[in-house]
Amino acid sequence: MAMDTVTAGVGTDVSRRPESFPRRPIWQALAAASLTLASASAAAQGVTVAKTLSVSETFTDNVGAAENGTAGSDWITQISPGIAISRRSGRLSGSLSASVNGQLYANDSSRNTSYLQLASNGAFVAVDDLLFVDFGASIKRENVSAFSSGTLGDEFNSTNQSLVRRFFLAPRLAFRVGKDINGGVSYRQEWTSGGGSVLDNRNQRTIALSLSNPLAFGPFGWDLNFQDKDSDSGGTMRSVSSQTATATLIYAVSPQLKLRLIGGHERNDYSVGEDVSRSFSGGGVDWQPNSRTNLSATAENRFFGTAYNVSFTHRMPLSSFDLGYVRDVASTETTAFVSAADLLYPTIYGSLGSITDPAEREAAARALAVLLGSGVPPIGFLTNTDFIDRSAWFGFAINGARNTLAFRVSRSERSALSPDLALVSSDDLSAYSKTVTKASSISLQHRLSALSSLTVSYSYSDAKGEGTTTQDVRRRALTGGFSTKLSPRTSVSLVLRHQSASGSYDYTENALVASVSTRF
């Protein structure tokens, strides 16, 4: 499952985390600089700045989703002022949204809290057709474990969530050698901080080189890639490094069908006292019979076994579906915590083929994904170790005149690459030799009018931890909601939620959420 990842922090030594790693001040400076830039250039073409305010009132009969309802009921008020900035023209493009979320509990003021939430991605063209710089940042709450309470996405439950700050900076050079050879050099620095005792701090550096000529000898082409990666966690986990060199021979059977023959060499030190250095081989196929259908499949015999990366998407005028299977080495940088909206967005975007304007289509897909995914649990948990990720998924979306239906089912299996990598006992991949999560969700939106809609969603997940001890937690969530626009800039919603868990952890919760949000 592809997803965008960003990390947090700044350092001068690219191979080690600096001792003076700043935590909150850098994010305050980043937010201030971004807002200042936006204000200074708001009159420029392609720049939009919107201030937002959201207020919600929640009544829950089990605050914090406590086991057996021991925490009792409470009224929760959340006030979230924010700002959204977007620039789509010129050398600098990207978007930034930031909000301060304050939560007040009527019956238990010790739970009161406030935190900054930030999401930003951008790109800068330093030299036309040559030098580019990608960058991004995020601050958000993420699940610490797949098994403790609150993993149904209740933003008011902080017992299983911790604030994580991520930041990345990635300059890249694109060039040509002669008439037909394309080349690239990239450097990516990623920082992550927060995450409590599980994550703490993490620093990853990646250098990549590439050369390719897709049609070097008639239907034959070639591709060369080299990647050098280093990761460390400031002493929490020992530093690890890996290098991979890959050569690919490409045969174009037709403009729509290409076959790939892969050979390469890899080295890593994931296991203590064992420096792996070996060659590998594999193959792949890429098939795109038309602009609406795409299949890509790759298999390689890597050091951890056979690696797979298979994806298939098909888009029709009012619907689309996608499926995939991946088995590969992963980390918190490549499989960041994602919401249901993140997962539903690509399929929903594909189903909105009747919207021809890309910006309008993107905005409509984002809004619909957020609405349909509002009652679906987020996916993933924090870990401070590299692991083998084995994931499969299938999803589809159907968009009619008045109804939109979205469905997704997935299975994820994670295991640490080496037992000595996960040194923090609270890390799920240290406590268990393998975690398996199965999840499914279905959401339906019915448009009552151009301004109002009803939404209902149901989700189920089963998280298992296997090892010397075992855990099995099954969760269900059912939500129903009504939303309407009072004006072009103001909307209100009313949502009723029921969620429960059984197995190693048991609880039930019912909640009613009323909210109003505006842009000005």
pTM over 0.85: no
| Contact by Cβ (8 Å): 409, 393 | yes
pLDDT class for 362, splitting at 50, 70, 90?
Answer: confident
CA 137 – CA 122 distance, rounded (Å):
9
Mean pLDDT across 419-447: 83
Helices (H), 149-188: none
Q: Where are the domains of the chain?
A: 24-519
Helices (H), 193-293: 196-199
pLDDT, tens digit (0-9, with 9 covering 90-100), for 121-170: 999 999 999 999 999 999 988 877 887 655 444 455 556 678 889 999 99
- Which of the given ranges, 161-175, 342-356, 363-377, 498-512, has the highest pLDDT on average? 161-175
The amino acid present at 407, given as its one-letter code, is F
pLDDT class for 373, splitting at 50, 70, 90?
Answer: low
Q: Report pLDDT for 13.
A: 33
Residue identified by tokens 């393998």 is 434
Task: For residue 224, give both structure tokens.
Answer: 């060369």
Mean pLDDT across 419-429: 73
State yes or no: pLDDT of 516 exceeds 50: yes
Q: Classify domain 24-519 by CATH architecture.
A: Beta Barrel (2.40)
Q: Report pLDDT for 413.
A: 94
State yes or no: pLDDT of 460 exceeds 50: yes
State yes or no: pLDDT of 459 exceeds 50: yes
Q: Report pLDDT for 30.
A: 44
| Contact by Cβ (8 Å): 259, 221 | no
CA angle 251, 253, 256 (to 5 degrees): 110
H helices, E strands: number in the chain: 5, 22
Mean pLDDT across 394-418: 89
State yes or no: pLDDT of 392 exceeds 60: yes
CA angle 314, 347, 328 (to 5 degrees): 85
Mean pLDDT across 170-174: 96
State yes or no: pLDDT of 335 exceeds 90: no
Q: Report pLDDT for 195.
A: 74
Task: Supply the DSSP string of 292-307, one letter for each residue.
Answer: TEEEEEEEEEETTEEE
Q: Report pLDDT for 19.
A: 32
Q: Report pLDDT for 349.
A: 72
Mean pLDDT across 341-359: 70
Task: For residue 213, give both structure tokens.
Answer: 């000529």
Q: Report pLDDT for 113.
A: 87
Q: Report pLDDT for 31.
A: 44
The CA-atom distances, in angstroms, between 42 and each of 32, 36, 442 are 15, 10, 40
State yes or no: pLDDT of 269 exceeds 50: yes
pLDDT, tens digit (0-9, with 9 covering 90-100), for 17-62: 333 333 444 444 344 444 444 444 444 557 888 898 989 999 988 8
State yes or no: pLDDT of 513 exceeds 70: yes
Mean pLDDT across 423-446: 85
Mean pLDDT across 430-441: 89
pLDDT class for 258, splitting at 50, 70, 90?
Answer: very high
**How many CB atoms are closer than 10 A to CB 447?**
15
Classify 18 as helix, strand or coil. coil
Q: Report pLDDT for 411.
A: 93
Q: Report pLDDT for 152.
A: 42
Q: Report pLDDT for 202.
A: 83
Greater confidence, 466 or 368?
466
| Contact by Cβ (8 Å): 170, 486 | no
What's the residue count for the chain? 520
Average pLDDT value over all residues in the chain: 82
- The answer to which of 42-51, 110-119, 443-452 has the lowest mean pLDDT is 42-51
Q: What residue ranges in 106-219 does DSSP mark as E strands?
A: 113-127, 131-143, 161-177, 181-194, 200-217
pLDDT class for 242, splitting at 50, 70, 90?
Answer: very high
The amino acid present at 53, given as its one-letter code, is L
pLDDT, tens digit (0-9, with 9 covering 90-100), for 90-105: 889 998 889 998 989 9
Which phi-psi region, left, alpha or beta, contains residue 359 (left: φ > 0; alpha: ψ -120 to 50)?
alpha
